[in-house]
Structure 1
Amino acid sequence: MATEIQNPNILVLATGGSIAQTSPDVPTLTGKSLLNAIPEFQNEAGIVVEQISQVSSPDVTADHWLVLARRINMAAVDDQIHGIVVTHGTDTLEETAFFLHLTVKSDKPVVVVGAMRRPYSLGADGAANLRDGIVLAGWPEARGRGVLVVLNSEIHSARDVSKTNCNLDAFKSPDFGILGQMVGGRPHFYRRVERRHTLGTAFPAALFRLPRVAIVYSHVGVTPDILGAVAASGYEGIVWAGTGSGSLPMAIRPAATGIVKSGLAFVRSSRVNCGHVKRNDEVDDDALGLITADSLNPQKARILLMLSLTQSRDPVKIQELFDTH
């Protein structure tokens, strides 16, 4: 079955990553080279490719996010562009996708794709994922669903998806499942995301700086000095990746309370796929001034906290953002 493009005017923004990596260390292929690997799109005049960056995903920074979001928001107001695809390395793909999910101010489809196998590997998946991403970005029913991630023929919400292993089926949405599937080159949707995204978020399109937020990982024997070191390093917030439902050990609680009193935001999240970090369950969050991460994993809780701190320092107001986004 031939690949269908409903709206051919698609902007592809290439950022590097394993999908473009022909050597062990550096992504070398350009976005145009990636597109040339898909025979059915080689003569498609409506697909425009721009090279935004050329980095491996572990090297992506907040500055890369800000540049990418600004370019997407600029492109989204162009009536000639119907959808946008971002090629990205898989290690931090879920983080970039979630940041865009919260900061892109358009209902046009934005699709993030990557590859688990590099182009020189047997059974490389980059071309197939990029093809699916381009089709999905041009599909009318993809509008208004927030930022999407498509790999291995599965369509995920940027809010829910996570890289769970290093195999071909690495990307999963553990708590809520996929949004849909690519079947025979066509998207098939089964659900929507109810939490606020894109046009509905509390965050502005024009951002030029993000507050510094650290993730502190809990473990047996964890001591409070690590929190003090983070606080002394100029961070504006901490995400606690706790055991179970975001447990906060007794030895840590005085330090956490002191950090909150000093003006830093403190979010309890879980280092495991626990579903939902319940408020006032493990600790009295209200009394301590803590924020709970809802169903977000630590890395996504960090992104939402960074954005929330651009709006408020009040833990009650930040909690409202976590409860709705």
Structure 2
Amino acid sequence: MPVPSEERLAYGIQLPVQSQSTIYTEPWEASAGPADLVEIARTADRAGFDYIACCDHVAIPRRLAQAMSTVWYDPVATLAHLAAVTERVRLLSHVAVVGLRHPLLTAKQYATLDHLASGRLILGVGAGHVEEEFAALGADFRRRGAVLDETVDALRAALGPDEYPEHHGKLYDFEGLGQRPRPAQEHVPLWIGGSSAAAVRRAALKGDGWLPQGDPRDRLPAQIATLRRLREEAGLVASLTIGAITEPLYIGTPSWDVGRRTLTGAPEALAESLNAYRAMGAHQIQVRFRCRGRAELTDQMTAFGAEVAPHLD
């Protein structure tokens, strides 16, 4: 898995098609489906991507549907499907809203996924933001931060090596209940998503990694400094994988309007720009590409792996 080191800047991608918010979805994704996801995942596997990621929402209320859409593939089912057609790329939930489910249920699903995928899971978790979704499932929206804090602790126990995990907390209490299969990994990496002060603190004190919520470049250094300070104050010495989400990318000179925020140009120039994230203290970047169809996307991904990645620090 990508970890803090002097090695290269790792790179992953949030899959298209599986979530279709208007913030980032390309028009062609509306008519895409499983075959497209399979080919994109296989391309990521071949092109050296460290992970492919899938989002999590159970149900979208009408008031948000126009912006968010109602297309949100289930992350466990989707990542398990793609695990079967890939070999090395890791499988990231970015992010699982684990407060919607009992931690033993979450552990059962993701332990099975890790077992089936031969230890390729990275469990990304977050607090969630859709109140109606929580209400429909009987989950506590107002206390979702506190729920997430304890859920992380419960998941640490439930995804550990013990067949009969044990956790005694204010919200969840279990022991003497066996779950197999166990995860293939001795320690499932648990990355925490979000850019609020509470999320950054949670990532610093409870996470193996931090998944920001699209912080721009000028905000990242302060966030990373806060992460490091909080960990130092808590006496934590274990590594923390720090992430960043890049601007949209297009390798080469586009013949169509890719938007003013998109980074374009020669591979070496793009790599030089992306290496700034490493200089800030990031260990992995999540990239996405402007594209008009699956073929253009997979071409961009292949070019990134072959021509940009070798120049990443």
Give TM-score, length-normalised by structure 1.
Answer: 0.29
If asked which structure has higher relative contact order (CA below 8 Å, sep 6+), I would say 2
Q: Which has the higher helix share?
A: 2
Give TM-score, length-normalised by structure 2.
Answer: 0.30
Structure (1 or 2) with the larger CA radius of gyration: 1
